[in-house]
Amino acid sequence: MIKPVIIPVLCHAKAQGQSRLVGFSRGTAPGAADWLAWDAGLCRYHWHLLPRPNLPFMSTVLEPFATPITLEEKPARLGDVLVGLGKLSARDLERAISAQGEAGGALPAVLVNLGLVSELDVAHAQANMLGIPFVTVDEFPALAPDIEGLSADFLRAHHVYPLRLDASGLTVALACPDDAFVIKALGLATGLTIHPCVALAADIERAMSAGEEAPNEVDGLAFEADAGDFVEHLKDLASEAPVIRMVNQIIGRVIDLRASDIHLEPFDDGLHVRYRVDGVIASADVVAPQLSAAVNSRVKLMAHLDIAERRLPQDGRIKTRVKGRELDLRVSTVPTVHGESLVMRVLDRSSVRYSMESIGFAPDNLEKFNHLLARPHGILLITGPTGSGKTTTLYTALSKIDADAHKIITVEEPVEYQLAGINQIQVHSQIGLTFANALRSILRQDPDIIMIGEMRDSETAQIAVQSALTGHLVLSTLHTNTAAGAIVRLQDMGVEPYLITSSVNGVLSQRLVRRLCDHCKQAYVPEPSLLDSSGLARMGLSVPHLYRPVGCEHCRQTGYVGRSGIHELLMIDDVMRRAILDGLDASALHAKATAVGMHTLYEDGLIKVAAGITSLDELLRVTEDHTDA
C-alpha cells in the first residue's frame, strides 16, 4: 500500500486574512489545471519547484480552514528588537508604525525609507531575532553551487542566493529570512535541509548579476575591479543610515546659507563640501574618505543616475522639499583622478517670484526694458557669463506677461523652473530634439512669444531671426561680455547685418554684485583720488561717503547678504542700426552706444556703490571700467 505524503503548502485564507499551513494527500497526481487553480486562488506555491518523484503522492484536497501556522507578526517584534539594540527609539518606532498605517507597506521598509534605520540595521536585527548568521557579500562564494531543482527566477524573485552545499544541507542567504514559504519551498524543491542566513537584498542582486554575466578574458580583470567597486558603493549607500542623514544635511544647508551651488569634490583626505553663496565659493566640511563613495552614490541615486558608471560625466535632477520650500537640484558629475566630482545647482522656485525692481533694475533701464517686452515682435537678448542671473531675469520677465492673453512657448535645456500657463519644452539632443528642431515645430503652434534658453549655433540663430521677422517676440540669451558683443556674436553665427538690424530690438547685459549687509556695513569718507580713479567724480555723483563690508552674525561674517543686478541696456535705434550696417566692431559699437546715452555695467554699478547697495571692491570683482578702452 502506498503511504500518503503530507505536503505543507502556505496558503492565504481570504476571509480571515491569515496564513495557514494546509496538508493534503491522495494517491494520484494532480493535473496541471489543479495546480494552476491553487496558484490563482488561495495558494502561493509554485508546483514546478517540487521534486518530480513525489508528484504521484500529492493530493489536491485543500483545507482552507486548517490550523494557522505558528508565525508571529515579525514587523512588531522586529521593531522591538531594533529598540532593544539601541538602533531605534520607541518614539521613532511609533512614528514609523503610524506612517505604515497611513501608507501601507512592511515596517522594515518604512523604517528605512524614513531614514530611521539602515537596511544593515534591519538585517542585523533579523539575525538577532531569529538566531541565524548575518553574511556580507565578501562571504559569498565566487561561484554559487549548482543545485538541481532550483529555479533561477524563483531565487531572484525572493532574493535567495545559495552559499554552500555540504553534508548538513544547503546554506542560503535570504533578504527575508522570516518568510516560511520560501524556506519550505526550497526544502521541498531540493530535498535538503535548509540553513538560512541573513544578507542584504542589494548584495544578493549584485551577486546574481555578476554570476549571470560572463566577461571575456580580455575584459575580465577590468570587469572584476569595476563590479567590486560598484558593490562597495552600493553596499555603503544602502547600508548606512548616517549617509542618508548626511546627504540630507548637506542639501538642507542651502536654505540657511542661501547657496546657489553645492560642490562635492573628492581628494586624498576625503570629500570636500563647498557652497557657492552670492557668487563666491566657500569651504564647509570634509567627509571622511571611507564615506566619500557612499555620499556620492546616495546623491546619484536620488538623481536617478547610473551609480555603476564612474568613468563618464552624467547629468540628472533631484526634486525635493527642504524646510517647507520646494527645490530642484540640477546634478552634474565628472570623473577626476580622485573620484567623481559632483555639483548640484540649486534651482529655487521662489526666485522666479521676484519683481523687476527687486533684481536691481535702475528706473530708466526698467522703463526701457518693459518697453522692449511690450513690443509685438523682434528679438530681446540677455547676455552675461554663467551664473550672472540671465535665467532669473528671463523667467521674471515671462512671469510679468499675461499668459492668458498670449501663447507663450519656451525651449530650454533643461527646464529650470515650471511656470503656470506657459508651454515649456525640454531639449533632448540624444533623440534629435534640438533647439533648432524644436523651434521649427513651435512655429506651427501659433505662438505669440518664444523663449529660447540659449542661442548656441547658427541654425538656432537663423530660425530665431526668421521667427522675429514673421511676427513673433523672441527672448533668448547669449554668452558675451558686453551688450554690443552680442551683435558681433550673431554676425559670427552667420546672421547678416541687415537681418540683425531688422529683427533685434535690444540687448541687455548683466552681472550680479553682492549686496552689503545692512546690519554691519560701515560708512567711510572716500579720498578725492579714489573718486577720480573709480569714475565716481566723472559721473557727477554726490558721494559724501561710501560703505565697506564688516561682517556680523546676520551675514555670517561675510559683510554681504544677497545679490543685486547691474545692467547695460543697448537699444537698437536708428543710430545703432547705421553703426551695425557700417560694420563696426564690438568696441566701436560699445562706444557708439555710450555716446547716445547707454549706461555701462560699470556705471550702473557705480550708481549702486554711491547708493550704499554694494562696495567698490565688489564692483571691481565682477566688472571693470571700459571707458578708456
Residue 171: how many other CB atoms lie within 10 Å: 19
* Per-residue pLDDT at 4: 40
Q: Which of 237, 262, 32, 199 is nearest to 115 (CA)?
A: 237
> What is the architecture of the domain spanning 356-512+562-603?
3-Layer(aba) Sandwich (3.40)
382 contacts 394 by C-beta, under 8 angstroms: yes
* Amino acid sitting at position 360: G
How would residue 430 be classed by pLDDT, with cut points 50, 70 and 90? confident
* Per-residue pLDDT at 628: 54
Dump pLDDT digits (tens) for 571-593. 999 999 999 999 999 999 999 99
DSSP 59-118: -----TTPPBPS---HHHHHHHHHHHTTSS-HHHHHHHHHHHHHH-S-HHHHHHHTTSS-
The residue ranges of every structural domain in the chain are 78-208, 237-348, 356-512+562-603
Dump pLDDT digits (tens) for 147-159. 877 778 888 888 8
Residue 369: how many other CB atoms lie within 10 Å: 21
- Which of the residue ranges 204-208, 260-264, 266-270, 320-324 would you say has the lowest mean pLDDT? 320-324
- Which of the residue ranges 20-29, 246-255, 294-303 would you say has the lowest mean pLDDT? 20-29
Q: Which of 55, 62, 50 is nearest to 21 (CA)?
A: 62
Of residues 287 and 430, more confidently modeled: 287
Does residue 234 surpass a pLDDT of 90? no
* Per-residue pLDDT at 93: 87
Of residues 51 and 156, more confidently modeled: 156
Of residues 220 and 463, more confidently modeled: 463
* Per-residue pLDDT at 6: 38
Strand partners, 476: 381, 452
550 contacts 479 by C-beta, under 8 angstroms: no
Q: What percent of the chain has pLDDT over 70?
A: 81
**Cα gap 349→327, rounded to integer Å:** 6
342 contacts 331 by C-beta, under 8 angstroms: yes
User: One fold for both 78-208 and 356-512+562-603?
Assistant: no
Dump pLDDT digits (tens) for 488-544. 999 999 999 999 999 999 999 999 999 999 999 999 999 888 888 888 888 888 788
CATH superfamily of 78-208: Type II secretion system, protein E, N-terminal domain (3.30.300.160)
**Cα gap 122→193, rounded to integer Å:** 25
Residue 289: how many other CB atoms lie within 10 Å: 15
How would residue 618 be classed by pLDDT, with cut points 50, 70 and 90? very high
* Per-residue pLDDT at 431: 86
How would residue 67 be classed by pLDDT, with cut points 50, 70 and 90? very low
Angle between helices 586-595 and 574-581 (to 10 degrees): 160
The matching CATH number, chosen from 3.40.630.10, 3.30.450.90, 3.50.50.60, 3.20.20.70, for 237-348 is 3.30.450.90
